[in-house]
Structure 1
Amino acid sequence: MSLPRHVSSKWKKTAALLKDHFLSDFVPETVAMSKISLRTLLKKYGMVYIKPVVGTYGIGVMRVERTESGYQFQVEEQVRTFKNFGDMYASILKNTNKKKYLVQEGIHLLKHKGKRFDLRVMTQYAPNRRWETTGIIGRVAAKNKIVTNYHSGGKILTANRLLARHTGDVESQLKSLSKLGEKAGKAMQKAFPGVYVIGIDVALDQSLRPWILEVNTSPDPYIFRKHPNKSVFKKIMRYADLYPKSEA
């Protein structure tokens, strides 16, 4: 086994998912950001997210929308409104700090007490050399925030508690998410040999359809310390101990 591999490019990871026939149906339309691509997807979906190709903790993510009076975008807790697209795009560029960005079809996330949430699905290459989903946990955005990341003020809650408000069959939903994680793990390892763990951020829309927003190849396991079932975190760490270690 080679040393664990970290893949930083969101674009490369998205491309790997799109090559898989099963997974491609669960990936929101995602393209490199330009003035033309942003205008096109905004016209098509009404709301999109733009995010840096390389970045962590939701830093730099913006939500862009068409409104009755023009356009608006939000970064952190600040919302800016514009009458025309050109002015908005110029303002967005100032916030990108010359980094490369992606435009992604906007998914309207389910909410918990008025706040958006998504799910982190932790999937690992198990001792039996098969991909196994070892934990699923919910992340609820802080008030007035557009990202759910714990490091950006998000709150950690169990997936069961979050889903119970929206479906009468939580167990079936979790099984589907587990399968999705395992399929994504295989696809990532096929594209990037040396990947042994992934954390996929999954949004559920109003019809409970899952969407893979992002794949992290170095996911933070410690959010699972907040899982009420202590065996979940223990198993995640036990599997992590089996990954090849650097000699440094």
Structure 2
Amino acid sequence: MNKLYTIQTTNSTDHKIHLPITTTIFGRIHTVSFGTLFLPCEITYSDELNQSILLPQELADQLHFPSEGKTNLIFNEGTLHLGPLIGIFTAGFTESTLRPIGERSLFFAKFLSLDQSIGLFTFVFGAHHINWDDGTITGYTYGKNGWQQGTFPFPNAVYDRLPNRRIENHQALKLVKKRLTEEYAIPWYNPGFFNKWAIHKLLIQDSRAAIYLPATFHTPTISQMEEMLATYQSIYLKPANGSLGLGVYQIMYSKEENQYYSRYRDDKEINRLRKYPSLEHFLKAAFKDKLLSSYLAQQGIKLIRLDGKPIDFRVHTNKDEHGAWKVTALAAKVAGKGSVTTHINNGGVVKTLEEIYENPQERVRALHDLTEAAIILSKCIDDNIKGFIGEIGFDFGIDQYGKIWMFEANSKPGRSIFCHPELRDADILSRKASLEYGLFLAKMAIFHPEELIHEEI
């Protein structure tokens, strides 16, 4: 774990920063940096300081540095880097001082409240908070006094938390990313929502990943759907860019009745089961003669069940402070009665593995297999997608033979599983890991900026 230092501001009028004498090993320091702002400074060393540093208030003000807190000390080529400073980019700000990001204020507060545990300084900002002329951002922090607005230099790294695809595709927001990454060489992580079909095409070509993928077709024809039903007994129709289980249909064929059944959630959020004499009748009723150009047909899997209800698994992976993938959270989701998915808003219930598996050996095997699959798939996606991916949420299934199937990968995973009281530690671990990856990228930008440029290409 990185050694953290407590910042203490002084009323000194000079630009002398007092450091512990143990830091003399890093050589002569002539510049101090916070975020992407650099200022000249003088350094003095004291054997009375252990894990604290003294920073003149005047210099702190010029750096837009908070008056207190814990920080990493990063030394490189005569510069002392404080923080680092991580900006969290989003949209949907309000005029409220109590809830500046509306209903998502608590979501962001939970991230910001963890920064000091790893010596980071974090703030949330939107496109309209950027002052391009003087290189500052008027963003929001969260601490013991609640939400506060302050001015910051451009950060060492930006964590993308735009709320949806529509906002993500807004031209003004794309321009913000372009300028900060290209003009200021600031690493930007977790950009872009995944498209299900793009991810499938990417993974099906990788032998490490292909074994976890159900058969999937884009813009399926009726004949393809008929063949899939004959082979797998059921299929799922999913929007390629969907989320939260919206717009999903399960199609089943009864050979005895020569009838088709569709399970879905209607516009009034009621779970429905309908019968049709043919696929043509179903498509006409559900899609009004529109092409399935934005849909995927996915093989139905006979999943393990609890009390007769199908179970799938959400696994969160994150990159840590070393840039390595790790599993930070794992939970089961049991489908609600008559529901087409296990999503919480469809009546699904979150369970721990202990609640699913009474047999310890079965539980250990499931944990091992799900963890292995999640790490392999995280690496495969990361190896084949441009940019810096710091977290992925996977939806997995385990069939009646114990085989693992990957249904979806999400670049900005929801956090509904963390409503379970036994997953509170995992909630903190996964949030903290998202910030730790920002620390990793900030260090890369300081020590090896050429590697970041190569990664972005």
The verdict on a shared fold, with TM-score over 0.5 as the criterion, is yes
Deviations 1:216-236 (CA, angstroms, capped at 9, x unpaired): 111123522525153322211
Match of 2:121 in 1: none
Residue 131 (structure 1) shift? 0.7
1:9 aligns with 2:195: yes
Q: After the TM superposition, which residues 20-99 of structure 1 pair with which residues of structure 2 at under 5 Å, given as runs?
A: 20-32=206-218, 33-67=220-254, 68-69=256-257, 70-76=259-265, 77-94=271-288
Q: Which moved more, 1:40-49 or 1:178-187?
A: 40-49
- 1:123–1:117 CA distance, 2 compared to 1 (3 A): same
- 1:227–1:188 CA distance, 2 compared to 1 (3 A): farther
- 1:88–1:220 CA distance, 2 compared to 1 (3 A): closer
Q: Contact 2:392–2:412 (CA<8 Å) still a contact in 1?
A: yes
Report 1 or 2 for greater relative contact order, CA contacts < 8 Å, sequence distance ≥ 6.
1
- 1:2–1:53 CA distance, 2 compared to 1 (3 A): same
Residue identity matched to 2:228: L
Deviations 1:153-210 (CA, angstroms, capped at 9, x unpaired): 2111102321336x74311220121111111111111222322111110111111211
Residue 83 (structure 1) shift? 2.1
- 1:58–1:97 CA distance, 2 compared to 1 (3 A): farther
Mapped to 2, the partners of 1:101 and 1:7 lie a distance apart of 16
Residue 58 (structure 1) shift? 0.4
Query: Which TM-score applies when normalising by structure 2?
Result: 0.50
1:178 aligns with 2:364: no
Mapped to 2, the partners of 1:35 and 1:172 lie a distance apart of 39
| Unaligned stretches of 5+ residues in structure 2 | 1-186, 266-270, 440-457
Mapped to 2, the partners of 1:177 and 1:12 lie a distance apart of 22
**Structure 2 residue corresponding to 1:110, chosen from 300, 304, 328:** 304
Q: Contact 2:333–2:350 (CA<8 Å) still a contact in 1?
A: yes
| Alignment: residue pair count | 244
| Unaligned stretches of 5+ residues in structure 1 | none
Deviations 1:66-94 (CA, angstroms, capped at 9, x unpaired): 11222111112211112233222322323
- 1:130–1:244 CA distance, 2 compared to 1 (3 A): closer
- 1:82–1:173 CA distance, 2 compared to 1 (3 A): same
Q: Contact 1:181–1:200 (CA<8 Å) still a contact in 2?
A: yes
Mapped to 2, the partners of 1:148 and 1:226 lie a distance apart of 15
Mapped to 1, the partners of 2:208 and 2:357 lie a distance apart of 24
Mapped to 2, the partners of 1:94 and 1:212 lie a distance apart of 30
Q: Contact 2:228–2:235 (CA<8 Å) still a contact in 1?
A: yes
Q: Highest Rg: 1 or 2?
A: 2
Residue identity matched to 1:19: Q
Mapped to 1, the partners of 2:316 and 2:249 lie a distance apart of 25
Match of 1:101 in 2: 295
Deviations 1:106-131 (CA, angstroms, capped at 9, x unpaired): 00221112221100011111112111
Mapped to 2, the partners of 1:95 and 1:75 lie a distance apart of 18
Match of 2:334 in 1: 140
- 1:227–1:209 CA distance, 2 compared to 1 (3 A): farther
**Percent identity of equivalent pairs:** 23
Deviations 1:227-247 (CA, angstroms, capped at 9, x unpaired): 5153322211111223449xx
Match of 1:198 in 2: 392
SS in 1 for 2:191: coil
Q: Contact 1:119–1:159 (CA<8 Å) still a contact in 2?
A: no
Query: Which TM-score applies when normalising by structure 1?
Result: 0.90
Deviations 1:125-156 (CA, angstroms, capped at 9, x unpaired): 11121110111101111111120012322111
Q: Contact 2:237–2:249 (CA<8 Å) still a contact in 1?
A: yes
Q: Which moved more, 1:217-226 or 1:6-15?
A: 217-226
Match of 2:41 in 1: none
Residue identity matched to 2:328: T
Residue identity matched to 2:426: V
Residue 7 (structure 1) shift? 2.7
Residue 12 (structure 1) shift? 0.7
Q: Once superposed, what is the RMSD of the aligned Cα atoms?
A: 2.2
Residue identity matched to 1:93: F
SS in 1 for 2:370: helix
1:189 aligns with 2:382: yes
Mapped to 1, the partners of 2:274 and 2:416 lie a distance apart of 35
Mapped to 1, the partners of 2:290 and 2:350 lie a distance apart of 28
Mapped to 2, the partners of 1:98 and 1:30 lie a distance apart of 13
Q: Contact 2:190–2:411 (CA<8 Å) still a contact in 1?
A: no
- 1:160–1:214 CA distance, 2 compared to 1 (3 A): same
Match of 2:87 in 1: none
- 1:230–1:24 CA distance, 2 compared to 1 (3 A): same
Match of 2:402 in 1: 208
